[in-house]
Structure 1
């Protein structure tokens, strides 16, 4: 039986390439690695959006980056879903979105889990198993724009793994800590190069392999 896995995330899920021309090759994006690894056992759907937050508005963007507002539509679109992978939090560190603290990201992630578990799926479909992926820690960069957006929050980003692990335990979710698997590129201090993106995909696939 093939499991449907929805990967709901931000630019790391989209495959933002800080060293290239916008986006990593399809095969280097972590949802693609998950699909390649699990093969026919899974149908992996990548729902990544640059700048997406867990639950906060970004009025500087053309599209809706509020993950909590968009998630119900995604759930309805792809139902039935066996596993929902929530990979968000970094963009909550912007002062004009989540306020610049990792704890806001944890609160937002809790809201996403609540939405996923209480959504009226219809047709007697069950709510999906939820996997939470905490973001990698930020690193120093010489990119002025990214440093202005995130540089002040490097210490906050070190709290992601601990906060999301505590949340996962309390809510009964599976947690994957990206900071223990991969390292952000100093090109912009937040995104992953192709090698680290594939590392993240392999780790997530290993976790999902026990759920599918």
Structure 2
């Protein structure tokens, strides 16, 4: 009997991509949480890693091309038959230069979720289950202290706004408030935290699939 594979799209920014805060390079597949998630869930699942540094929910960062989540999600929806979409965005929107309120960032998340639903409804296909990951705490240190000045004060409100939107859509919202960001740059996760996130997400996916 052929096993049915459940496809999971992890759509996020540099922490989904797996940026190593010590080297600036990418963690390998034995370290980043998206790859570990696939190993934790086992052979009945396929995780599609779609992290991109600097990706946003609201604006396209200057000089970085089309990195807005709304602009770049459709090719993944076209390419894969998805059962789950994990959205892990919002951190880059907190950069001081964008001057966005938590409410505006959350509206970007809501727009992205609505775009996903409209895409599948236009094809009369079932909408994948969405899981929202709210940004982790930010530590204002090093090269990012100026870039993210004031972001730490917005995070509690941002989580509340994200949670409200996820609840309205009847989707899960994972808080990373207990996950420590690195002392090196205050934004990205070290290897241990990638392990922790992979376990938290595997638990959510396992619960949503009834342990299949």
**TM-score of the superposed pair, with normalisation by structure 2:** 0.90
Cα shift readout 1:98-128 (whole Å, capped 9, x = no counterpart): x243222211111111011110477753111
Task: Give yes or no for contact 1:76–1:121 (8 Å, CA) kept in 2.
Answer: no
1:210 corresponds to which of 198, 207, 212? 207
Q: Tell me what 1:56 maps to.
A: 59
Q: Tell me what 1:20 maps to.
A: 23
Cα shift readout 1:55-89 (whole Å, capped 9, x = no counterpart): 3111131x3211111112221122x1110000000
Q: Tell me what 2:184 maps to.
A: 187
- Once residues 120 and 209 of structure 1 are traced to their aligned partners in structure 2, the CA distance between those partners, rounded to angstroms, is 24
- Once residues 148 and 179 of structure 1 are traced to their aligned partners in structure 2, the CA distance between those partners, rounded to angstroms, is 22
Matches within 5 A, 1:25-104: 25-61=28-64, 63-78=65-80, 80-97=81-98, 99-104=99-104
Q: Tell me what 1:147 maps to.
A: 145
Task: Give yes or no for contact 1:68–1:112 (8 Å, CA) kept in 2.
Answer: yes
- Once residues 100 and 183 of structure 1 are traced to their aligned partners in structure 2, the CA distance between those partners, rounded to angstroms, is 24
Matches within 5 A, 1:1-12: 1-12=4-15
Q: Are 2:134 and 1:137 equivalent residues in the alignment?
A: no
SS in 1 for 2:43: helix
Q: Are 2:113 and 1:116 equivalent residues in the alignment?
A: no
Q: Specify whether residues 73 and 121 from structure 1 end up closer, same or farther in structure 2 by C-alpha distance, changes over 3 A only.
A: farther
SS in 1 for 2:150: helix
Give the paired residue count.
Answer: 206
- Once residues 26 and 110 of structure 1 are traced to their aligned partners in structure 2, the CA distance between those partners, rounded to angstroms, is 31
- Once residues 186 and 4 of structure 1 are traced to their aligned partners in structure 2, the CA distance between those partners, rounded to angstroms, is 34
SS in 2 for 1:13: helix
Q: Are 2:127 and 1:127 equivalent residues in the alignment?
A: yes
Structure 1 residue 205: deviation in Å? 1.1
Cα shift readout 1:11-40 (whole Å, capped 9, x = no counterpart): 010001111241112111111111011111
Task: Give yes or no for contact 1:140–1:186 (8 Å, CA) kept in 2.
Answer: no
**TM-score of the superposed pair, with normalisation by structure 1:** 0.90
SS in 2 for 1:183: coil
